[in-house]
Amino acid sequence: MATPILMPKQGNSVEECLIVAWKKKVGETVTAGEPIAEMETDKATFEIEAPADGKIIALFVNEGELAPVLTNVGVIGADGEDVESFRPAKAAPAAAAAPAPGGAPAAAAPVAGGAATVEATATASAAPAAPQVMTGVASPRARLYAKSHGIDYSGMTGSGPNGRITEEDLKARYYSEPRKSFLARKLLTKGYEMGKVATGVDGLVRGADLKKGEPMSNVRKVIAQRMNASLKDHAQLTLNGSARADKLLACRGAIKKQQGEPGFVNVTVGDLIMFAVVAALKEFPALNCEYYNNKIYPGKGVNIAFACDTPKGLLVPVLHGAGKMELKDIALKVKQLAAEAIGGSISPDNLEGGTFTVSNLGAFGIESFTPVLNAPQVAILGVCAPVLRPVREGGEIKYCDYIGLSLTIDHQVVDGAPGAKFLQAVKANIEKIDELTGIAL
């Protein structure tokens, strides 16, 4: 019995996903639970698993194309089973197909103008109707390229079937400048970019004057767009300070000594700092909010986010309801969300709704940096590595560990003085973290 392959729903906010790559092709056998495709939302990459045992007998979406969630992107079954009843509504019905060698019917070819399919395994015997040339009709991949590069393709006729505009057509338009050789124009459509300008007598830009550019992933593009928008649309001011870290490190040492005991939770220095920040945000709600469309939206509770480095790029998981969590709850939730983000299985719902962000680069030995606002949030705290500093105590000089803190605020919403007072509160909480958490030293 044929079984549809659904585009899975990734959280309440995701309406469509991009097929990055098919790991299995039409005709290949799969087992239930086996990864068969890689897909992307605008924030993370996930896998589509086979819903049943069998053979892939149809795929309705090409690599690089978008598909709405909970729609059929393919079919698993046996040779000869019907696939048309599973085809998405906007996909065109298949043309008649010639029998495949060995008696098995061939999968159908797509009709011009319908959604592209990749299930065809043999050439259709039916003669196609006379094509009707269309202008301004672009493939999904071309639409994505046009949107990211600001290209207007209305009225344009492409090189694809029936004048369909392809990504290659838009690349050619984007890089279309006079005096390029034929080879240079071809290379530019394949991802090459302008390098040096030719200085020859004829002034032509040749293939040797170009360099190959690596395409950005969908996740990387989103990160780039959001970072650029954050810096462009928000008045960012960074305040730098430091907190004495001897009690912080002592608490961490006390926790490590409990390893092996029943109910032990490995609370890190980062978890302790997160707990200190949450406590400060309760005292300074003006920094626990969002700002957009000239309106301020106070956070409903403290939903603290943290920057997480993953193989796919920067992700920012959110601890919803962190203001009601105990220290151990925060430590467990941070570890869970970080593991899901790194493994590519985190729900998009756990990447949204943050009211404040912590970016901790201390593990990399960074002593100072300027964090960029995670808009529309109005503040982000950068945490640096502990460093030894000389301090005067009782007429003597001694060395103590200090941890750097960099608070970036949106000066449209938060003035410097309230930002400084919040940073003072974070500093005070870190320096009395034993009292705040109840850890005995």
pLDDT digits (tens, 9 = 90+) for 375-393: 999 999 999 999 999 999 8
Contacts of 239 (CB under 8 A, 6+ apart): 406, 407, 408, 409, 416, 419, 420, 423
The residue type found at 317 is: P
For 441, counting Cβ atoms within 10 Å of its Cβ (0-12 exposed, 13-18 middle, 19+ buried), the class is exposed
pLDDT confidence of 206, banded at 50, 70, 90?
Answer: low
pLDDT confidence of residue 184: 65
pLDDT in tens, 279-333: 999 999 999 999 998 999 999 999 999 999 988 888 999 999 999 999 999 999 9
**Sign of the CA dihedral with 348 first, then 349, 352, and 357 last:** negative
pLDDT in tens, 116-147: 444 443 333 344 444 456 677 887 788 888 87
Is residue 191 predicted with pLDDT exceeding 70?
no
| Domain ranges in the chain with CATH number 2.40.50.100 | 1-129
Mean pLDDT of the chain: 83
pLDDT in tens, 42-78: 667 788 999 999 999 999 998 878 888 889 999 999 9
Query: Do residues 305 and 374 touch, judged by C-beta distance below 8 A?
Result: yes
Its CATH architecture, for the domain 1-129, is Beta Barrel (2.40)
pLDDT confidence of residue 182: 62
Its CATH architecture, for the domain 235-437, is 2-Layer Sandwich (3.30)
What proportion of the chain, given as a percentage, has pLDDT over 70?
79
Is residue 95 predicted with pLDDT exceeding 50?
no
Query: Do residues 30 and 54 touch, judged by C-beta distance below 8 A?
Result: yes
The residue type found at 187 is: L
The residue type found at 183 is: L
Query: Do residues 365 and 385 touch, judged by C-beta distance below 8 A?
Result: yes
Is residue 203 predicted with pLDDT exceeding 70?
no
pLDDT confidence of residue 109: 38
pLDDT confidence of residue 107: 40
pLDDT confidence of residue 156: 86
pLDDT confidence of residue 116: 40
56 φ, ψ (degrees, to nearest 5): -75, 115
CB atoms within 10 A of CB 271: 24
Q: What span, in angstroms and rounded, lies between the C-alpha atoms of 387 and 144? A: 46
pLDDT confidence of residue 134: 61
The H-or-E segment that residue 290 falls in is strand 289-292
The H-or-E segment that residue 217 falls in is none
Query: Do residues 318 and 353 touch, judged by C-beta distance below 8 A?
Result: yes
Q: What span, in angstroms and rounded, lies between the C-alpha atoms of 232 and 228? A: 6
Lowest mean per-residue pLDDT among 4-8, 161-165, 225-229 = 161-165
pLDDT confidence of residue 253: 94
| Domain ranges in the chain with CATH number 3.30.559.10 | 235-437
Q: What span, in angstroms and rounded, lies between the C-alpha atoms of 385 and 405? A: 9
